[in-house]
Structure 1
Amino acid sequence: MFPGSVCWSILLMMSLLSIYSINGSSANRSTKRNQHRQNTFAKRSDGNNETASGLSGNYKLVKDWPSLSDEVTLGQVTSVAMRSDGILAMLHRAGRDWVPASFDRQNRFRKVEEGPIAGNTVVYIDPETGKQLGQWGKELFYLPHGLTIDHEDNLWVTDAGAHQALKFTEAGSPLMALGTRLEPGEDNNHFCKPTSVAVERRTRHIFVADGYCNSRVMKFSPDGRLLFQLGKSGPAHMRFLAAWIRRPKGTEFNVVHSLALDQERGVLFIADRENGRIQALMTEDMSIVGSMTSARFDGRVFAVGFSPAFGGLIIGMNGQKAGGGIVQGFVLNPKSRQEKTMIVSTFGAQRLKEPHDVKISDDGKTIYVAETRPHRISKYVLT
């Protein structure tokens, strides 16, 4: 364990306690902003005071799942999401991989002349049988990264190659495009390799992780107007150092790789990948209200997911790091005061190689993991 990491983690986890300290929805928080930073956890607004620390059992791999036909030729599987009817949507890159030479020094995609990916990139999967139910996405994306399904069952795809966040119907008809196609940038009209999207049900606000180059989160109105942005990279000469050495500030992100929402409380969770932590902020005013980290994350957090089950479950995924370490998923209790109880359980340590995204069902009983290597999606169930 890294020197000093335990004390640091405990301090950050204690700040996270404030996220769940107020009864009611985010609509009431504007008058209680100071209170939620001082109180300890209270009961949920629905009267359910069950906590994630009461979760019993472990998440076990479902073997021989999925069962895709030869019609589906998987490339790097980058993301997984779930429709309101429980059907899964999987995003993959078909025959095009993200490799170190994919972008030039100006962050422009090198294979523009080859056009968008020729094959289907979005696959619908039956969550029980694992069979595909349909697919689309031909000639739409240059290098797709993240997939989100909003409360209206629209699909949002971040295309790191095109530097855009794109909205589609279930059938793949385009509805909205944020960012300037094939032009990286750092102003209000550009992204640079965006990674993830989250959409708030109550306000319909759109949150985009402008992840790799700009390390920021941008908040948009339902019609695509920029409302707020938060975050920046830390000093360039410090970013290569482990987070426990340089102690990045709350808004000093280092690759914002994944987003997840607690819709009831209005909390946005951020996988701050190279800082090895999960940041939490209020969607209303974009204020940082907490952080979760652990030496067991091994310095990186690739993906974050959230389920309202058991009083609130946060799922974190680490990833491969130079020098090795255990690649696995973490079930986290946001109400914990101590590192040893923050991690409720782990999963996938004997299987996962390069996890890239995670999705947990609303009932907390099933977890799906997308991996870029090998090209696959896995299912874990609570037993």
Structure 2
Amino acid sequence: MASRLRMFALAATLTLAAFSARAADIPRFEVEVSWPKPLPNNWILGQVGGITTDKNGHVWVIQRPKSLTDDEKGASLNPPRSKCCIAAPPVLEFDAEGNLLRSWGGPGEGYEWVGREHGIEVSDDGFVWIGGNEANDNAILKFTLDGKFVMQIGKIAPSKGSNDTTQLGKPAETAIDKDANEIYVADGYGNRRVIVFDTNTGAYKRHWGAYGNKPNDDKQAPYDPNAPVSQQFANPVHCVKIASDGLVYVCDRINNRVQVFKKDGSFVKEWFYEKATLGNGAVWDIAVWPDPKQTWLLTADGENNEIRVINRDDGKVVGTLGRSGRNAGQFHWIHAMAVDAKGNVYTAEVDTGKRIQKFKLISDALK
């Protein structure tokens, strides 16, 4: 009897140890309430249209100066309405401690600046890509890290539809495939596709819609969780991310799903999240976890205002972060997010949120 009890206790201990080890592997976070540090020059952020991290662990933000109210930008009015504040430049770079390193952006010679800033990506070879989603923001722009213009793909002009190869449709976000010298565009708020260009020449490569099929721009019925699943992406196609094994993850925001593809556009699988969600949808952004196997994905949900931690193999949710609210660690329209090599998560909010936050990794989830 005593022997059986010892065996049972040992089995229970091993099971608990295995469970504890597994729990330690799942990413968990705590908010850094003092991040970032106060901006200089009496600056203030507007709606934050995008956020990303670079190979140095720096955080890049694109924000919307025109989204500020007169009350918020009172010091810039003529005559000044109040002591604070002045709109910060659209593009800002921070270090991991929250110090502002540089800033730039806005109209300039040789290119067309977007009307409403949306999406930012920094390539390992030192270029910054930005886009926009105002009515005719049908282009993406390439700059050096210091803001020198390099290239424009598309024009600030009316869209030509989801199968045109020269013009975009209010693109939401981009992802860089550095080995292939390609940029993937979640295109977007106007079109219903992913489209790929050469990062050096801007040449068109390929595009596809939901399930890898040819996209179309026919009017779609409003999202209904009880209806058959849509065979087209809804607007917006809000994000695209590439994993190291070549899988491409796409946010079909209003349809509450992630679709997974190969790089050639071949459909692999899809996952649905909070399928009953209406409004602005439940899948706003994706970040790939930086462990060697890229075990997890993080998905941002701006309607339910949470981040989900999901298993990249099967899409199952293993944890969540945040809730609706305006306190530190909460969200109001979490719009975009990024993760650095140390597992720290950075978030960006639009609408009345108008802020960025940092969440420090506190579990052992990088092995």
Q: TM-score, normalised by structure 2?
A: 0.75
Cα deviation 1:220-272 (Å, max 9, x = unaligned): 1231111211013686342x1225523123x544421112111x211221111
Q: Which of 357, 360, 364 matches 1:381?
A: 360
What is the match of residue 73 of structure 1?
44
Aligned structure 1 segments of 4 or more residues deviating by more than 6 angstroms = 51-54
- Structure 1 vs Structure 2 CA RMSD: 2.5
Following TM superposition, by how much is the alpha carbon of 1:141 offset from its aligned partner in structure 2, in angstroms?
3.2
1:245 counterpart letter in structure 2? A
Q: Distance in 2 between matches of 1:310 and 1:229?
A: 29
Q: Distance in 2 between matches of 1:244 and 1:178?
A: 39
What is the match of residue 341 of structure 2?
362
The structure that is helix-richer by fraction is 1
Structure 2 matches for 1:142-153, cutoff 5 A? 142-153=115-126
- Ranked by relative contact order (alpha carbons within 8 Å, sequence separation 6 or more), the top structure is 1
Q: Distance in 2 between matches of 1:146 and 1:196?
A: 5
Change (3 A) 1:233 1:378: farther
Q: Which of 308, 333, 337 matches 2:311?
A: 333
What is the match of residue 121 of structure 1?
90
Structure 2 matches for 1:302-341, cutoff 5 A? 302-309=284-291, 311-312=293-294, 313-320=296-303, 326-336=304-314
Q: Distance in 2 between matches of 1:248 and 1:165?
A: 28
> Is the counterpart of residue 349 in structure 1 residue 349 in structure 2?
no
Conserved 8 A contact 1:144-1:159: yes
Structure 2 matches for 1:210-289, cutoff 5 A? 210-222=187-199, 223-231=201-209, 232=215, 236-238=219-221, 240-249=222-231, 252-262=233-243, 264-283=244-263, 285-289=264-268
Conserved 8 A contact 1:297-1:318: no
2:259 counterpart letter in structure 1? Q
Cα deviation 1:184-225 (Å, max 9, x = unaligned): 221221112111111101101111121012111111123111
Conserved 8 A contact 1:88-1:124: yes
Following TM superposition, by how much is the alpha carbon of 1:311 offset from its aligned partner in structure 2, in angstroms?
2.6
> Percent identity at matched positions?
24
Q: Distance in 1 between matches of 2:268 and 2:240?
A: 15
Structure 1 stretches lacking a partner, 5+ long: 1-50, 99-117, 321-325
1:78 is paired with a residue of what secondary structure? strand
Greater shift, 304-313 or 207-216, is seen at 304-313
What is the match of residue 110 of structure 2?
none
Change (3 A) 1:348 1:171: same
1:261 counterpart letter in structure 2? I
Q: Distance in 2 between matches of 1:56 and 1:317?
A: 17
What is the match of residue 26 of structure 1?
none
What is the match of residue 79 of structure 2?
none
Cα deviation 1:36-87 (Å, max 9, x = unaligned): xxxxxxxxxxxxxxx9987245221111211122423211111111121111
Q: Which of 57, 65, 82 matches 1:86?
A: 57
> Is the counterpart of residue 177 in structure 1 residue 158 in structure 2?
no
Following TM superposition, by how much is the alpha carbon of 1:310 offset from its aligned partner in structure 2, in angstroms?
6.2
Q: Distance in 1 between matches of 2:226 and 2:62?
A: 33
Conserved 8 A contact 1:197-1:209: yes
Structure 2 stretches lacking a partner, 5+ long: 1-20, 70-86, 108-112, 210-214, 325-329, 363-367
What is the match of residue 206 of structure 1?
183
Q: Distance in 2 between matches of 1:121 and 1:352?
A: 21
Conserved 8 A contact 1:52-1:310: no
Conserved 8 A contact 2:172-2:188: yes
Q: Distance in 2 between matches of 1:253 and 1:227?
A: 23
Conserved 8 A contact 1:146-1:158: yes
